[in-house]
Amino acid sequence: MEDLQTINKAIQKSFALCSTYNNIMVSLSGGADSDVMLDLLLRTCEDKSKLHFVFFDTGIEYSATKEHLEYLEQKYNIKIDRQRAKCPVPLGCKTYGQPFLSKFVSQMIERLQNKNFDFANDGNKSFEELKTKYPNCEGALTWWCNEYHEQEGKKSHFNISNNRYLKEFMIANPPTFNISDKCCLGAKKNTSHDYEKENSFDLKCVGLRQAEGGIRSSAYKNCYDFDSAKHTQTFRPIWWFTDKDKKTYEKLYNIQHSKCYTEYGFKRTGWTKQCPV
């Protein structure tokens, strides 16, 4: 017998919140976690007219993802609003720089490049030496020198060492092009923020799981939070799902994912994992 405790708790929490709010934005990506979240919300929200589904097209979406959105619309008899990026990823790359490995890594490298960091000659210098030579860049230098620590002195996944041999590679092969994570701002973040304001949503739902790992999930501690500065309330319905819980849910409710997973073998569909750079 499968352990359904986490799934049952998620269903109860989703039911309670869907009953509390009246204008709920459900941000869909076409990915596997997004599929599970969508199914869970539709099963727990008694008044489905409260739910407004949206997909933010970054300009580099797979055709399989777009086909999957059509499948979801037919399966659940819903309408998914497609929002085109204010600044598509190709234009963002041309304007700001190319993404590299992940948004966090790209951000750190961009900060170093903005300080004209000498990767080849200064790459192996100590944190103290680099702090003196490159002032007001402590965050990126802390990442570069593996100075981030978690509790009990353990090294943090915020360090460059989390990407094996990346530091050594960049010292031997300093980047000759601009690197940046800003292509995501115009492609998704800014577009999403404007869409939220225009429609006055009182709750936003996203398919993020703690078990997914990475910088994005590390930014949150719970399945629900309120940003007082932006007056935004965000709910992550499947936040506590482990990989096992997710597979159990998929089996229970016959969740079918896009061809990106079933035919092409992708583990993720976002550019942070599929970036070709």
Q: pLDDT tens for residues 219-247?
A: 677 898 887 666 779 999 999 999 999 99
pLDDT, one tens digit per residue, over 108-156 is 999 999 999 999 999 999 999 999 999 999 999 999 999 988 655 566 7
pLDDT, one tens digit per residue, over 169-180 is 999 999 999 998
| Least confident window among 44-53, 56-65, 130-139, 152-161 | 152-161
5-12 CB contacts, 8 Å cutoff, 24+ apart: 6/240, 6/241, 6/242, 6/245, 7/241, 7/245, 7/248, 7/249, 7/252, 9/240, 10/40, 10/223, 10/237, 10/238, 10/239, 10/240, 10/241, 11/40, 11/43, 11/44
Cβ atoms < 10 Å from Cβ of 133: 13
CB 181 within 8 A of CB 104: yes
Interatomic CA distance for residues 139 and 7, integer angstroms? 38
Interatomic CA distance for residues 247 and 252, integer angstroms? 9
Residues 6+ apart with CB under 8 A from 36: 207, 238, 241, 246, 249, 250, 255
Q: Is the entire prediction scored with pTM above 0.85? A: no
The answer to whether the Cα torsion of 12, 53, 56, 200 is positive or negative is negative
Q: Average pLDDT for residues 82-102, to the nearest whole number?
A: 82
Interatomic CA distance for residues 53 and 73, integer angstroms? 10
At residue 273, does pLDDT exceed 50?
no
- pLDDT level of residue 99 (50, 70, 90 thresholds): confident
At residue 164, does pLDDT exceed 50?
yes
Interatomic CA distance for residues 11 and 253, integer angstroms? 13
Q: 271 is written with which tokens?
A: 């550019």
At residue 62, does pLDDT exceed 60?
yes
Interatomic CA distance for residues 268 and 272, integer angstroms? 9
Give the SS3 label for residue 177: coil
- pLDDT level of residue 217 (50, 70, 90 thresholds): low
CB 209 within 8 A of CB 238: yes
Give all domains of the chain, ordered by start, each with its CATH number: 5-88+187-274 (3.40.50.620), 100-172 (no CATH)
